[in-house]
Amino acid sequence: MNLRKVFTHIEETLIEGGRPVEPVARVAVVAVSIANPWADKGFVEDLTSGIDGVSGEVGEFLASRVVAALGAPIEAYGKAGIVGLKGEIEHASGLIHTLQFGDHFRAAASATTLLPAVEKRAAAGRCFDIPLKHVTDLKQRSHHQTVEVCFADAPHADEILIALAAASQGRPQQRLRSFGTDPAATA
């Protein structure tokens, strides 16, 4: 892993809808800016060697850091891969859509659900949304949310920005029923 920079972003929501949030809702994002092993190489048919050499190491590094940054049990989580302009979206996808990447976070969060993701190509400083879902129950609408982040210095054109996001709870002041409990669904 050719790591250039680590970013940590923490949000705390104290008031939502004019009411205090009890307990305070925390969201943490930890991202790394790493060299894109395929940048400027033209179309690479087999990405396996680059994925195998980096994916698990990045996943392990980020999982421990986002758990520490959140400082609370994880109820919702997500991931992102933002590739610089000299790369392909497939480069970011290849690194974050592997078990060797995601299983570190699933284990740290005691999670059983798929880890939602966003991938895109962007210049440094572009904002992006990381989708979050409940770590064990995808029917929990309260935990379907996003966190928006921007890192002014990443990704460089020949880099990939990889991020993990964790939330201590669902949306503050949520009031929606779980999927499958709507009156029309039970009638």
Domains delineated in the chain: 3-186 (3.30.1330.110)
Which pTM does this prediction carry? 0.92
Among 87-96, 130-139, 174-183, which is the least confidently predicted range?
174-183
pLDDT at 49 over 90: no
pLDDT in tens, 65-85: 999 999 999 999 999 999 999
Q: Are strands 117-121 and 128-134 parallel, antiparallel or unpaired?
A: unpaired
Q: What is the pLDDT of residues 21-35, one digit of tens each?
A: 999 999 999 999 999
Residue 186 contacts by C-beta under 8 Å, 6 or more apart in sequence?
A: none
Residue 104 DSSP label:
H
Q: In which band, very low, low, confident or very high, does the pLDDT at 182 lie, cut at 50, 70 and 90?
A: low
11: three-class secondary structure by DSSP: strand
Q: Does 187 score more than 50 pLDDT?
A: no
